[in-house]
Amino acid sequence: MPLVPSKDPQLVLLRHGETEWSASGQHTGRTDLPLTAAGEEQARTAGHALSDITFAVVYASPLERARRTAALAGHADPVVDPDLAEWDYGPVDGRSSADVTTLLGRDFQIFDDGVRVLPPDPEHGGGRPGELLEDVAARARRFVERADTTLQEGGNVLAVAHGHLLRVLATAWLGVDPRYGARLELGTAAICQLGYGHDLRTIEGWNLPPHV
């Protein structure tokens, strides 16, 4: 069932569909994996859910899984925005939280620990140290301000990107600590609606499954 358009402009978020690593719980940062067949179907379903909403502009991460999701959802020519790329996990890329917990010998929480708890590793993240959460939050804030310009002009905005990036983006929208993103679960191809209420930025819908 398509979502009912809001009478007020919204920033709509769409996480990419399933990939092999999202299905297995491995962190997928800059590793550019394709969607699985199930992920492609999720993206088409999300497109149906969003079909009644007119977007003034559609943005997508430069990574293939996000651009493919946008295309299958009916937006084949999005504005590719590097600020929407997933958190560069560096040495955590390709590892699950359980893997990192084992390596550290203690519980691992990415929003608290970050990704630099492990040394750079050529086999994970290409030897890069990875981004600090504060760097991801700075990118998210830049995007929010760009999107807000369109929203203030009365147009809806769609952003197709990644799980952790979009969770941090929601904290940037609300103006809260980016570590609050740990509390915002987000499934593959899930839809979120950010808007305004009583002159405040609000979350109007979160982690809505694509078959809404």
> Average pLDDT of the chain?
97
Main-chain dihedrals φ then ψ at residue 69, nearest 5 degrees: -60, -45
Three-class SS state of 131: coil
Do 84 and 126 reside in the same domain of the chain?
Answer: no
Q: Which of 122, 140, 124 is nearest to 132 (CA)?
A: 140
Do 22 and 120 reside in the same domain of the chain?
Answer: no
Q: Which of 158, 113, 187, 211 is nearest to 12 (CA)?
A: 158
| 2 in any annotated domain | no
Domain count, the chain: 2
Give the number of other Cβ atoms within 10 Å of residue 42's Cβ: 26
| 139 in any annotated domain | yes
State yes or no: pLDDT of 2 exceeds 90: no
| DSSP conformation class of 82 | G
The stretch 56-84 carries a mean pLDDT of 98
State yes or no: pLDDT of 199 exceeds 90: no
The stretch 155-168 carries a mean pLDDT of 98
Do 158 and 80 reside in the same domain of the chain?
Answer: yes
Please tell me the predicted confidence (pLDDT) of residue 146: 97
- Active centre residues (catalytic): 16, 86
For the stretch 96-151, pLDDT in tens is: 999 999 999 999 999 999 999 999 999 999 999 999 999 999 999 999 999 999 99
Please tell me the predicted confidence (pLDDT) of residue 212: 58
Do 140 and 188 reside in the same domain of the chain?
Answer: yes
Do 123 and 36 reside in the same domain of the chain?
Answer: no
Q: What whole-number distance in Å separates Cα of residue 6 and Cα of residue 182?
A: 27
CA 41, 45, 50, 51 torsion-angle sign: positive
Do 123 and 175 reside in the same domain of the chain?
Answer: no
Q: Which of 46, 36, 41 is nearest to 189 (CA)?
A: 46
CB 179 within 8 A of CB 112: yes
Main-chain dihedrals φ then ψ at residue 155, nearest 5 degrees: -100, 145
State yes or no: pLDDT of 202 exceeds 90: yes
Do 111 and 65 reside in the same domain of the chain?
Answer: no
| 71 in any annotated domain | yes
Domain boundary (75, 105, 130) is at 130
CATH assignment at residue 199: 3.40.50.1240
